Structures are given as C-alpha cells and as structure tokens.
Amino acid sequence: MKKGTLASRNIRVLFWAELFGSVRFIQPVLALFYFARGLDETSILWVMLFWSTGVLIGEVPTGVFADRFGAKRSFMVGAVLSVISHGMLIWAYDPWVFFASSFVSGFSVTFFSGADEALIYESLKESNEENKMDKAVGIIHSGQFVVMVFVLIIGAMIAKDLTDQQFILLLILGILFQSIQIVLLLFIGNPKNQGNYRDNPFKQVKEGILTIKKAPQVLWMFLNVTLVFIPSAAIFDQFSDKLLSDAGLPVFLIGFVFAGLSILSFFLSRSIGWITSRISRVIVLHVTGGISVIGLLLVAYFRETLWILLLIMILLRFVRTIRYPVYSQLANDIIPSNVRATTISLLSIIDSVCDLIIFSSVAGIAVFGFNVLFLACAAIALVGSLIPIRPVAKLS
C-alpha cells in the first residue's frame, strides 16, 4: 500500500483497533467456562444460536446506518455494545444471561459487518489500490493474531484451576483492553464515497437486493465461504479447548497451542497477497474447502489422539485465515460503492439464516456425542465447498 494515503491510515488504525478489540482472555478456556457455569453441549450451541439471531436482526439496519453515516460512527456503536456483552458474562450463571450476552454480542458485530469492508475498499479506491483488498484485509486481521499469542497463554495460565474467581478476572481484563479499541476508532477517516447516502432507506435496501440479483455469483461465492466457515471455524472453535482437554493436554498448556495457531494465522494473513499473486483466488477457495472437509472427518474419528488433533487444528486454522480475505476481494470487485455496506449486510443476513438452521440442527444431534456432531459438520462443509465459484465483472 502507498504511504500517506487514507487507505494506509485506515488500515493502520483498524489493525490496532482489531488488535485490542479481539482481546478476550477467556477465549482459551471458553468451553470449559461454559461447562463450569452449568451449560452442556446443546446449551452452548444455543448460545451460538442467539448470537446468530442478534446478527440476523441487526444486519440490515446497521448496514443502512453505515452507508448513511459512515463507518466510523458505526464502529463506535458496535465497540461499545461489544464491551457491554462481554461484561454481562461476569454475572452469567443462568442460561438466559448467556443467551442475552450472546445476542448483544451478535448485534454489536453487525455494526462492523459490511462497514469494515466498505471502508477498506473505498479507502483503497481513493489511491487506485482496490486490487489489494485481500492483502489489506489480511493485514488488519493479523492484528488479532499478534495479541492473541499473549492473551491465550496468559488466559490459560490464569484459569489453570478453573475457579470462578479466575474466570471473572479474565473477563475484567478483557473489558479493559476492549475499551481501548473505542478510543482508537476515533482516528478512522471516512472515504468520500462512504457515509453520503441520503435517499430513502427502503430504496437503499432495494438497491442492495438488486445488486445481488444482477450478480448472483456473489451470493454463490458467499454461500461457498459461509457453509465451510460455520462448521470448520464457528462450531469447531466452540469445542476446541474441550477437545484438547479430553485428548489429555493440561489446561495451562492449551493457551500455548492456541498461541502457536495465532502465530501461524499472523504469517498466513500477511502472506495472502503473495499467495493470490501466484494461485488463482478461485482455486484457493476450492482447495481450502476440501481441506476443511478432510479436517472435520478426522476430528470425528481421531480427536482423542493428541498429535492428530493438533494437525487438524493447524489445517482448519489455515482454512479460516485464508478463505474470507480472498472472498472479500472477489465480492467487492463486483459490488458498487454507494450501497456496498448495505449489500454486504444483506449477504450477512443469509449467513445468519444459515447459522440459525445449522446451529439448531446440530444442537439436536449434539446429544449423540462429538462423533456424530463432527460428521454432520463435515457434510455441511462438503456441500459448501461444492458450490461453484467464478469471478464476474464489476456492476456499473
């Protein structure tokens, strides 16, 4: 990226904002925290279901908000709600509190969803660098992987005895660091083509729907990405610390495993531009989709063998790190500027619907154990990876 441009400034600010906003010391022991507070496998999936419901309800209005008032204001509201949702977990001893916290967390995400991609792409357009979208997204996302190296290790070590006092300390530390994100977001600059939409909001949504109708390939690409992501990242990550514990890894070492994965993700995120300059983005999506299916099948049958589980986690981390930035480049090359955030938010509604369907279905079979759970996940990822992908020209 060129120096001294709006794009370089926003990418730098978003890198640091992502870094502090992703600090959740509870993350390496999240499933163990859930179990300690009385939840079971099915309840945990219901927590995810409420998160998706919050996303579903928030996507369109927050996408409209970002196109009308700019990404900066949208990010500020989302960051405040994120801190509130995290704080609610301190007093979460009943399932309904977990559900409420998850709903607010999902709603807060929608203030970033769409708006962040729109901000990055429009910032890059001002310096004629929009072809570097996937590289920029990779750089920004790498921020969370830098800090997670330390957060995951410290979090697991603090919670080594899995006591309630240790869990509360982790949550408070997370709130303190996430609050810094709110301050950093004040330095975001809105591009000229963003935050200026003043037509009727219903017309704004209609234009977003029309964009998807004109280029249905955007929808197919999105389904390919989301149907692989939900089982291989969203569901798998909810149980990863539990799987490591069941495989015989001491709790205090779980953080070191996740830290190692974060280091891997950091270098992968920084290498996306290098990868896509040598391999077609479409091929990257297809190959990583196949890897996710294989990884989930291996989880179903060999999760109790520690070295195999660690190999699976490396494969699935590679998939989740690479796929979305590549998709983001392909999709944003097509979507027009004036309704970019709204269109991306409309696509995210489809993601939320998929979440609701998959989480509720998987929750019903989770009672049969991890074997059946991850076989179902592999089947879902297979369906997603088989959806055809082809880039198309930008809409006028």
Query: CATH code at 331?
Result: 1.20.1250.20
> Residue 337 carries which side chain, given as an amino acid letter?
S
The runs of H, that is alpha helices, within the chain are: 6-21, 30-36, 41-69, 71-88, 95-109, 115-126, 133-158, 164-184, 201-214, 216-229, 236-246, 251-270, 272-276, 281-302, 306-332, 340-365, 370-385
**pLDDT tens digits, one per residue of 48-67:** 889 888 988 888 788 778 77
Q: Is residue 391 part of a domain?
A: no
Average pLDDT over every residue of 289-303 = 94
Residue 371 lies in a domain: yes
Under the banding of pLDDT at 50, 70 and 90, the label for residue 313 is: very high
Tell which residue, 271, 259, 238, has the closest CA to residue 310.
Answer: 259
Say which DSSP state 5 is in.
S
Q: What is the mean predicted confidence (pLDDT) over 359-383?
A: 87
Q: 191 in a domain, yes or no?
A: no
Domains: count for the chain: 1
Is 192 within a domain?
no
393 pLDDT above the threshold of 60: no
* Per-residue b or e along 195-220, where b marks 16 or more CB atoms closer than 10 Å to that residue's CB: bebeeebeebbebbeebbeebebbbe
- 299-320: b or e for each residue (b if 16 or more CB lie within 10 Å)? bbeebeebeebeebbebbbbbb
pLDDT score of 311 more than 70: yes
- 92 is a domain residue: yes
Q: Is residue 196 part of a domain?
A: no
Residue 390 lies inside a defined structural domain of this protein:
no
Contact of 219 with 344, CB cutoff 8 Å: no
CB 27 within 8 A of CB 261: no
- Domain range holding 80? 7-186+208-385
Average pLDDT over residues 15-22: 86
For residue 288, being part of any structural domain is answered with yes
**Percent with pLDDT over 70 in the chain:** 93
pLDDT in tens, 171-227: 999 999 999 999 999 998 877 766 555 566 666 677 777 777 877 888 888 899 999
Residue 396 DSSP one-character state:
-
